[in-house]
Structure 1
Amino acid sequence: MMDMQGYFEQFGPVESAATTKFQQVVGKRLSQAWATIPHVTHHDDIDVTALEAHRKALSEAGTRISPLIFLVKALASGLKAFPDFNASLSEDGKTLYRKQYCHVGIAVDGPLGLLVPVLRDADTRAIQDLANELKSVSQTAREKGLPMSAMEGGSMTISSLGGIGGTAFTPIVNPPEVAILGVTKTRIAPVWNGEAFEPRSLMPLSLSYDHRVINGADAARFLRHIADVLAHPQDL
């Protein structure tokens, strides 16, 4: 095996640090996912002007809710409308298991790395209920980690960089799921309405999916469905 530290030290000082057991396990899992799943990523900008106005009205009434929770509800609606997204493929590729439940995973950045707590029955629960649970499990994940049982059984995962920045990225599918939704920072941009440009709030979404199960047209329709749902946030 090549002495990597010795090689790099030819060019200057090097500090070495052992990776944690958690990083090794996650790294192996991500490498397997990337090597075995034919990934495609579809990007789209979702108009969330109405959502931001709705959130502002809620805030003024004393209720502050993150846009991520509305996205969870919109995703749950999409999983109902497009059941192949709420599925898992057998190892031999011969059987597709469509799930009748709707559990949404949320990637949370903790001291050990990314953990993915699962919000169960996201399709039937109230916005505030989901918001309270996400706040609680996120705090637990950051302070002391989560048990495996809290991170199993997800239908699909959301990976959010909205609080940090960026315009798009390519999230890796979290097996045995067949798709993952990435979200980056909402921005204000001029949009042509047919007569003039007007400022609109645009949320960039990046949908990575297993091309063995999902085709490009359905991926585009899936994000359009989410856009339509978020255009009427009061219905959530």
Structure 2
Amino acid sequence: MSVESVSSPASVVAPAAVTGPAPAGIGANLPPWPQVDFAEFGEIEVKPVSRIQKLTGAFLSRNWLTIPHVTHQDDADITTLEAFRKAYYEDGATVKLTPLVFLIKAAVRALQTFPQFNASLDGDGKNLVLKKYFHIGVAVDTRFGLLVPVLRDCDKKSVLELAAELTAVSSKAREKGLSMAEMSGGCFSISSLGGVGGTGFTPIINAPEVAILGVTKTRLTPQPSDEGGVEWHKMLPLSLSYDHRVINGADAARFTALIATLLADPQALAA
């Protein structure tokens, strides 16, 4: 691993991205952690916590304690998207075109429509910094833990360009790890558990970002057909955690609804 990284199940935070001290008193009056001799109750094994886990725990604790998290749940119908991908592969394509690439493009369109999601509070919390660039972080499962490489200028790249870049950076993350520079500067993060399972979760916001999108396993759902029968649709669960100091619930609902609408038209995203 080229540079020691800081990783978490939902996000990665580079120290350079941290601005300003945590609010005074946060966690100061909590009772001490219980000290227990677990060997009293049965056989145990003691393993040291890695440096990465220690750093991760500190950032996660800070983010969870200082950011008022709310998680909005929604579903996106990706039946047409999956048909589009199937046709793409049947044409003998060589670039791996995953649903995650379309999520990146949909997220960019949603960030453009709702600029408060593409923002950060400054160090003292008095100003909202609106970003004019679109860098998306994507969680990658590796032997080092979950790392989040940042794909830059996603608004200027096609789905095929993003697919090739995502494949390359994911391979690098799994084989060698990533530098802090490769995990810094993100505007918005996506954490996908679709290949593992689940129906929803609460991803922790990657400060100083103000929102993060989690996705879980696609499920088949019956829907009424125009002919009066039933047809099965592929539904992708969306879990959007957002900073309630910056974003309200109505805008979160509009944000995920727009992502669902965009995913339903994969040809427009691929254009």
TM range (shorter): over 0.9
Helix, strand or coil: the match of 1:34? helix
Alignment of 1:31-42 (within 5 A): 31-42=61-72
Q: Tell me, which stretches of 5 or more residues in structure 1 are unaligned?
A: none
Partner of 1:211: 244
Helix, strand or coil: the match of 2:48? coil
Q: TM-score, normalised by structure 1?
A: 0.96
The CA deviation string for residues 57-92 of structure 1, in whole angstroms up to 9 with x for no partner, is: 101112241011011110111111110000001232
Partner of 1:87: 119
1:222 aligns with 2:251: no
Partners of 1:137 and 1:217 in 2: CA distance: 35
Partners of 1:158 and 1:202 in 2: CA distance: 17
Offset at 1:193? 4.8
Change in 2 beyond 3 A, CA 1:2/1:230 = closer
Partner of 2:189: 157
Identity value in percent = 57
Partners of 2:231 and 2:75 in 1: CA distance: 15
Q: TM-score, normalised by structure 2?
A: 0.84
Partner of 2:199: 167
Letter of the 2:238 counterpart: L
Helix, strand or coil: the match of 2:156? coil
Partners of 2:77 and 2:86 in 1: CA distance: 16
Letter of the 2:62 counterpart: Q
Partner of 1:59: 89
The CA deviation string for residues 198-220 of structure 1, in whole angstroms up to 9 with x for no partner, is: 20010001000000000000000
The CA deviation string for residues 32-55 of structure 1, in whole angstroms up to 9 with x for no partner, is: 000000000000111011101111
The CA deviation string for residues 1-49 of structure 1, in whole angstroms up to 9 with x for no partner, is: 98946x1111101101111111111110000000000000000111011
Partners of 1:216 and 1:235 in 2: CA distance: 27
Partners of 1:2 and 1:76 in 2: CA distance: 42
